[in-house]
Amino acid sequence: MGHDLGSFPRPVLAALAAAERLLTRRSGAGIVLADPEDLGGSERSVVARARVARNPFSLPRTLVVKHYLAAPDPGRPDPFHYEVASCQLFTALPADARPSPVLIAHDPKARLLVLEDLGRSSTLADKLFGPDPEAARRCLLSWARALGRMQAATAGRESDFGALLRRLGERAWRDPMAEDARAAVAGLPALLEHELGVKVPPDATLEAHETVKLLGATRYRAFSPSDTCPDNNLVTSRGVRFVDFEWGCFRDIALDAAYFRVPFPGCEASFALPDGMAEAMLDAWRSEIVEVWPDLDSSERLEKRLRQAQLLWVWLCTWWMLPRIRGRDMPVGADATRSPRISTALGHYWRQVAAVAASSGMPGTEELGTEIALALAERFPDAPGSLPLYPAFRSVA
């Protein structure tokens, strides 16, 4: 590169250089990027913001570049393809329905995306860990509405998504959690008995098997980012926007709406919500989806689907996390200051499910949830007995 970008990490500089080549090739004139800002990314990718220093065309003043560092695992879907297809799907939507940054350019050979910069926005996680409970509450409601708008806008577009993936070389596509969810329903009874000495009542097994129907071709399918954890949601002046679509898919909308209740299952930042918050989020979400699925305005019909989705997530989270505390208890995520203990999170999930089951005529699940919560408390007596609220809400609890 012919200009000084300072002493930034080599992967960031390589990403910007690749973006310059892509944009120059597309425009037929030299594009120069400057003032890079490392936005983090992950082990798989580099994400950086850059200023467009030389711009003979109408590019925005700043851009975001995402560069995938490694080739996909052999025999596995390529997350780069899923992210590109997801962004292409959203970019084709009207601006007022678009839930994500616009895709400006992409290069399959370089495994690179150039995206609209949504600005120096906070994440939903920043608000939930911040000092302002009212700001956190507003952002949760905005997130719930944004989720509903995205689902309503993408209903009926699954074939479009499939066509985009096929153009990128993917022959099949599926919900990445579906395989693990089916494995959890089949294998969790043996795991619970081995790890906690808890036997799953036959009724609880039947009730869990009912939830697997949500993984099939239901009438309520729409796009899901698949990973809608708080740090993957940007709080912008136009409301919450979703980022990171490496595992984007189409699935039953109840599976994402259940995030209100579990809450944020499997996410590192899975803390409790204050009383009434889940119900308020559900109302905000439902107001966005009822025009597309008017039958879900029926509380009874919707409640049954949400109950099943909540139960499926709890079985799946237990399948994922219980083996991790075979030796000792530990936080869900790497940062213990922003993540609860696994035993505390699972105990909370199962107590909630037991309470829902008690009011819904699901005796097997009620019994199972109570027994698992007790077994976890006995095995890890030094762990917090209840899941703490998100920090933003603790000062007013």
Percent of the chain with pLDDT over 70: 97
Segment 260-272, tens digit of pLDDT: 999 999 899 999 9
Q: According to the model, what pLDDT value does residue 77 have?
A: 84
Find out whether 52 and 44 touch, Cβ atoms under 8 Å.
no
pTM for the complete prediction? 0.93
Q: Give residue 35's region: left, alpha or beta (phi > 0; psi -120 to 50).
A: left
pLDDT at 1 exceeding the cut of 50: no
Segment 132-148, tens digit of pLDDT: 999 999 999 999 999 99
The average pLDDT across 239-252 equals 93
Q: Retrieve residue 319's tokens.
A: 């399948």
The average pLDDT across 325-350 equals 95
Segment 28-67, tens digit of pLDDT: 778 899 999 988 767 788 999 999 987 766 788 999 999 9
How many residues in the chain?
A: 397
Q: Taking all residues of the chain, what is their mean pLDDT, rounded to a whole number?
A: 92
pLDDT at 330 exceeding the cut of 60: yes
CB-based burial label for 17 (10 Å; 0-12, 13-18, 19+):
middle
pLDDT at 3 exceeding the cut of 60: no
Residues contacting residue 312 through CB under 8 Å, at least 6 positions apart = 181, 185, 208, 211, 212, 214, 215, 255, 258
CB-based burial label for 316 (10 Å; 0-12, 13-18, 19+):
buried
The average pLDDT across 177-195 equals 96
- Could you give the domains of the chain? 10-116 (3.30.200.20), 122-394 (3.90.1200.10)
The average pLDDT across 375-392 equals 95
HSE value, Cβ hemisphere, 13 Å, CA-based, for 296: 23
